[in-house]
Structure 1
Amino acid sequence: MTAADYEATTKGSPASTSVIPAVKDRPADPRPSAPGATVQPGPGRRASLRLTHVEPWSVTRLAFAISVAMMIVAVVAVAIFWFVLDFVGVWDQINDSFTTVLSDDTSAFNVTDYFGVGRVIGLTLVLSAVNVVLMTALATIAAHLYNLAAQLMGGVEVTLAEDK
């Protein structure tokens, strides 16, 4: 909409108010098209970028967050698995099997004394904590190594394209 069009629409009385919607001009297609011919859209914009530096502190924080999330998932999964095995009766069957193999009529052996829920979840917590430390350290070292390699080789080239 031009300034003259706007002025012509707002020349009413001072009490009148008109709202003019925004009109976006469409660019003309530079390719001539024959009547009835279909116009194929051209390729979108493309940009080639090179990743030459990765911030090690960002990698450390991300690796730590992902490792802690994996730790939580592991503890919950092990707890659910243990309770499902208990609900199904696997621990009782293992106790019966040991009693049969040992040919002992006393019920002194109980597998849950060795593989109780507390011990299993505690072991999972310890192994997951070690995993958090190792994965965070390895990711940080990998970020530094990538930065060194990118200085020598130039980094990773990525091409981004815009869809039309």
Structure 2
Amino acid sequence: MARADPWSVMKVSFLLSIALGICTVVAAAVLWMVMNAMGVFSTVGGTISEATANGDGGGFDLQGFLSLPRVLLFTSIIAVIDVVLATALATLGAFIYNLSAGLVGGVELTLAEDE
């Protein structure tokens, strides 16, 4: 392989990054729902609330802080950043590969036919 077209690498990496971002958001939502159904947030939240309570009551509200909309918003922001960075890095990798392939001739592949 003597050359990788940076434009096609950018398009493919963008689509794969979008798919990975969607999978990340769905996985975070499913994980949150499973943990909520198991009562993890209420148990850990109660412990943290007791540990951080002062004399007049109160304490840190973990369930309010880790609500589903907030978790999905944070996950979506991370997914968008991942899409931009992965696309840029793959395109940069194609440019770097083309430069090094110009010096050393590229990667030689030997393909065999199945019989």
The Cα offsets for residues 36-84 of structure 1, whole Å up to 9 and x where unpaired, read as: xxxxxxxxxxxxxxx1011111100000001000000000000000011
The correspondence for 2:94, drawn from 111, 119, 143, is 143
Q: 2:92 and 2:47 mapped to 1: Cα distance? A: 49
Q: 2:17 and 2:65 mapped to 1: Cα distance? A: 28
Query: Is 1:59 equivalent to 2:23 in the alignment?
Result: no
Q: TM-score, normalised by structure 2?
A: 0.90
Q: TM-score, normalised by structure 1?
A: 0.65
Rate the CA distance shift 1:88–1:152 in 2: closer, same or farther, 3 A.
same
Query: Is 1:162 equivalent to 2:109 in the alignment?
Result: no
By how many angstroms is 1:108 displaced? 6.2
Count of residues in correspondence between the two structures: 114
1:152 maps to which residue? 103
The correspondence for 1:97, drawn from 47, 71, 79, is 47
Stretches of structure 1 lacking an aligned partner (at least 5 in a row):
1-50
2:65 maps to which residue? 114
By how many angstroms is 1:103 displaced? 5.6
Specify which structure has the higher proportion of helix. 2
By how many angstroms is 1:109 displaced? 4.5
2:22 maps to which residue? 72
* Local SS of the residue matching 2:16: helix
Pairs within 5 Å for 1:42-53: 51-53=1-3
The correspondence for 1:123, drawn from 74, 79, 93, is 74
Stretches of structure 2 lacking an aligned partner (at least 5 in a row):
none
* Local SS of the residue matching 1:162: coil
Q: Is contact 2:2-2:102 (8 Å) kept? A: yes
Specify which structure has the higher proportion of strand. 1
Look at both structures and tell me which one has the larger radius of gyration over its CA atoms: 1
Residue identity matched to 2:83 = V
Q: 2:62 and 2:20 mapped to 1: Cα distance? A: 28
Q: Is contact 2:10-2:90 (8 Å) kept? A: yes
